[in-house]
Structure 1
Amino acid sequence: MIDQNYFKDKRVTVMRIGLIGRGIGDAAYIAEMGGIVRVVDAAPQDVMQPAVDALAEYPNITFKFGPYEFADFKDADLVLVGAGAPLDEPVLVECKKAGVRLVQSAALFAELSHVPIIGVTGTRGKSTVTHMIHHVLSVTTGEEVILGGNVRGVSNLQLLKQVKEDSLCVMELDSWQLQGFGWAGISPAVAVFTNFMEDHLNYYERGGKSKAEAMDLYFLDKAQIFLHQEESGVLITTPEVFTRAQKLPGSIGQEVILADASVLPEDMLLSMPGEHNRLNAALAYEALKSVGMTEDEIFAGFASFPGVEGRLQLIATIDGVRVYNDNNATTPQATTVAIKALA
């Protein structure tokens, strides 16, 4: 069970609270649980005023905007770091030197909830695979399955209110959230790693790093999804990702499943076109099998899966012309794959 007093009287610095709801919800949860919260953000207050207004009811939350100062971090019991914060940010470097604990909300949810987690990462496809797994589990079991991680507007700490003794959670995890899993030395029980492509180079090339060095750092962050699994864990990925994973220091002792679209019936129709989505479905299939779902249950769930907004989402058919929204294809590779899927 969750320790309801975990945050009581703890001094928590929340760094980079953002405006889309995750950080705001996290700060609110900590305050509700009796924590003493200091929100710091490098953005000016006029930009961040909506966050201030959203948290105005909590007298135990204070705010400071502008350049970060170590004085706002050094006495904290923990620092909740917002996604995308550069790890070479001087105040974070000082925190590490001083032994101040750094956390991220997805990993902190995992630590505090103690529920089994199916985690999904990858440069592309992680949203589709996450929602596909969540959909099949929800419609098959009829139970509430927690959905968290990199889900727009969802506070991972607020999800602690949904946790029950028999809960199961599916989390989409980006590279920044997986940094938090690395800091905590934990990984999800079931890890799905969809693929690995160039992305976020503006973040990882900081400090004059080469593209190769940046890609290694990016992969290492992603790899936190499986590096700390126990032997009872399951890693589901592709041969290409696994080849790169084997080059990392340490051994991979957990079960490894290499997904292949051939596990799907040839005549199975998915709501989203393209061979890449058949591979996404194969990854979801293996994850669902690993938690006890039968083939019949999985394929029935796939048949009713509506797809994900912004991922080759069919939004209209006009005079026989199908119109798709694929606004999450934010890399050249993803756009190319989408065009091929519709060709």
Structure 2
Amino acid sequence: MADRAVVVGLGRSGMGAARLLHSQGLPVSVIERGVGPALEKQAEPLRQRGIEVVLGLPLLPESFQRWRGALQMVVISPGIAWDHPTLGALRHEGIQVLGEMAIAWRALNHIPWIGITGTNGKTTVTHLLSHVLQSAGLSTPMGGNMGISAAELALQLRQPNAITPDWLVMELSSYQIEAATEIGPRVGLWTTLTPDHLERHGTVDNYRAIKRGLLERSEQAIFNADDPDLRRHRHSWDRGIWVSADGPDPDGCPADLWIDAEGRVCEPEGPLFPAESLAMPGTHNRQNLLMVTAAARTIGLSGDQIASGLTSFPGVPHRLERIASRNGCSMFNDSKATNYDAAEVGLKAMAAPVVVLAGGQTKRGDARGWLKQLHDKACSVVLFGSGADELHGLISSSGYSGSLHRCPDLIQAVTLALKEADRLKAVSLLLSPACASFDQYKDFEARGDHFRTLIQHAI
């Protein structure tokens, strides 16, 4: 029996990895713990390609018994914990365990990568950088942790008529990085670091070390000097480009790219263009602008080229996405805000008073900054989903004096939030959940799409 790869899971990354490995001539099997008609339908296209799919097989050592002696590698999706006991048992047997992103890197590392990571901001930076580079005439597809999976992108670029891109702009989560430690981007960007995914990584130190590894393997590293955690560890880096929206000398440490008192993006040689070239609101988006500018300058774009790209940027779906307006109230979809820190950043960017919709599957983290923004800006908070009761207790105990409600789902929450916006004459209505989406949606995109549809139907 020939060497074989087993891919775990029939999700987007698992299907992409299976198809990519199969296209490279490797015998591939896919195992999936679930069963049912929907999964049978999902498996059919793979089976038609000659890829074996076995449903009803959980991630246990005995599930791999049928391929013993031929099993070369096991490929996992980001949703599977890297320290899962079964993966440890496989490694002990000498079987290679990889993430889907590692498979993609092996297929795509002849093209220079821009790897973007961070707790918050990475999706916006990925979209914005890809747009700026493409507007300057470069071919720069994006993917990874959002949009198209890296394996799917590799498959597309293996097609006979595919044109090799100039750069790949890849968003990389901590889950993906820890399972693909061979990735070494030409340019690496680190946007922010706040406690997140601690239920998976255990400690902030573990979480930080995973992201740090990506930047250490990057030929050119770019950092957000305004992030407190990154700035606190700046002394441990002997190289890198540091950017700051707070001027040329944030906290006594010189920046390599900054926004001056006149609102101009500057480098040591002089001003480049006005920061208002990017219309998106919030200080965090000025930091995102600087990260993008630093990467674009590294690649060789002029200030005028970058400014032109920033000016034409349409925004990012699900990240402070303005979707409608009614009776003087602007409505924003910030479904990408899946933790307290991201929700705090979104709320900071809003004009007050704000009606906030929050809820979903709660996560560990420090809620103090988010609660302060609720006190300062929110006239009403409408909670929904499985975490509504927990969030209600958290907000109530903080002494919040605005209107506070609970709803079972987003449908009822939107109806109530619109009434609250009219009653309280709010100028902003913001879906910024501060929670994961998995209690009621497959991902944050599905949650944001549902919110957009509900708002558009209601107005």
Q: TM-score, normalised by structure 1?
A: 0.83
Counterpart Cα distance in 2 of 1:11 and 1:336: 46
Moved more, 169-178 or 314-323: 314-323
Q: 2:311 aligns with which of 303, 311, 316?
A: 303
Residue 31, structure 1, aligned to residue 22, structure 2: yes
| 2:75–2:100 Cα contact (<8 Å) kept | yes
The one-letter code of the counterpart of 2:150 is N
Unaligned runs of 5+ in 2: 246-257, 260-264, 266-272, 352-459
Instruction: Name the structure 2 match of 1:40.
Output: 31
SS at match of 2:136: helix
SS at match of 1:309: coil
Instruction: Name the structure 2 match of 1:235.
Output: 221
| 2:277–2:311 Cα contact (<8 Å) kept | yes
1:108-127 aligned at under 5 Å gives the runs 108-113=103-108, 114-127=110-123
Instruction: Name the structure 2 match of 1:192.
Output: 189
Cα distance, 1:60–1:25 mapped onto 2, change above 3 Å: same
Instruction: Measure how far apart 1:26 and its partner are.
Output: 2.4
Instruction: Name the structure 1 match of 2:299.
Output: 291
Counterpart Cα distance in 2 of 1:329 and 1:125: 10
The one-letter code of the counterpart of 2:167 is L
Instruction: Name the structure 2 match of 1:16.
Output: 9
Residue 268, structure 1, aligned to residue 276, structure 2: yes
| 2:47–2:53 Cα contact (<8 Å) kept | no
Unaligned runs of 5+ in 1: 1-8, 206-213
Question: Which of the two has higher C-alpha Rg?
Answer: 2
Counterpart Cα distance in 2 of 1:315 and 1:293: 32
Residue 167, structure 1, aligned to residue 160, structure 2: no
Counterpart Cα distance in 1 of 2:327 and 2:294: 39
| 1:146–1:162 Cα contact (<8 Å) kept | no
The one-letter code of the counterpart of 1:76 is L
Instruction: Measure how far apart 1:10 and its partner are.
Output: 4.4
SS at match of 2:71: coil
| 1:41–1:66 Cα contact (<8 Å) kept | yes
Instruction: Measure how far apart 1:56 and its partner are.
Output: 3.2
Identity across matched positions, percent: 29
Cα distance, 1:41–1:220 mapped onto 2, change above 3 Å: farther
Instruction: Name the structure 2 match of 1:221.
Output: 210
Moved more, 300-309 or 61-70: 61-70
Deviation readout 1:205-247 (Å, 9 max, x if unpaired): 3xxxxxxxx1111112222211223xxx111112344456568
| 1:311–1:328 Cα contact (<8 Å) kept | yes
Counterpart Cα distance in 2 of 1:150 and 1:26: 14
Cα distance, 1:227–1:42 mapped onto 2, change above 3 Å: farther
Instruction: Measure how far apart 1:266 and its partner are.
Output: 5.1
Moved more, 27-36 or 172-181: 27-36
Instruction: Name the structure 1 match of 2:322.
Output: 314
Instruction: Measure how far apart 1:101 and its partner are.
Output: 1.3
Instruction: Name the structure 2 match of 1:210.
Output: none
Moved more, 29-38 or 196-205: 29-38
Instruction: Measure how far apart 1:321 and its partner are.
Output: 2.3
| 2:222–2:242 Cα contact (<8 Å) kept | yes
1:240-251 aligned at under 5 Å gives the runs 240-243=228-231
| 2:140–2:165 Cα contact (<8 Å) kept | no
Instruction: Measure how far apart 1:203 and its partner are.
Output: 1.5
Cα distance, 1:258–1:321 mapped onto 2, change above 3 Å: same
Moved more, 293-302 or 39-48: 39-48
Moved more, 112-121 or 311-320: 311-320
Instruction: Name the structure 1 match of 2:242.
Output: 258
The one-letter code of the counterpart of 2:34 is A
Instruction: Measure how far apart 1:126 and its partner are.
Output: 0.2
Counterpart Cα distance in 2 of 1:198 and 1:170: 25
Counterpart Cα distance in 1 of 2:28 and 2:350: 49
Instruction: Name the structure 2 match of 1:139.
Output: 135
| 1:123–1:197 Cα contact (<8 Å) kept | yes
Residue 149, structure 1, aligned to residue 144, structure 2: yes
Instruction: Measure how far apart 1:309 and its partner are.
Output: 0.4
Deviation readout 1:311-338 (Å, 9 max, x if unpaired): 0011112233221111111112221221
The one-letter code of the counterpart of 2:52 is I
Counterpart Cα distance in 1 of 2:345 and 2:149: 31
Structure with higher RCO (Cα < 8 A, 6+ apart): 1
Residue 63, structure 1, aligned to residue 58, structure 2: no
Instruction: Measure how far apart 1:25 and its partner are.
Output: 2.5
Counterpart Cα distance in 1 of 2:112 and 2:341: 33
Deviation readout 1:254-305 (Å, 9 max, x if unpaired): x401111234355614342111111111111111111111111111100001
Instruction: Measure how far apart 1:103 and its partner are.
Output: 1.8
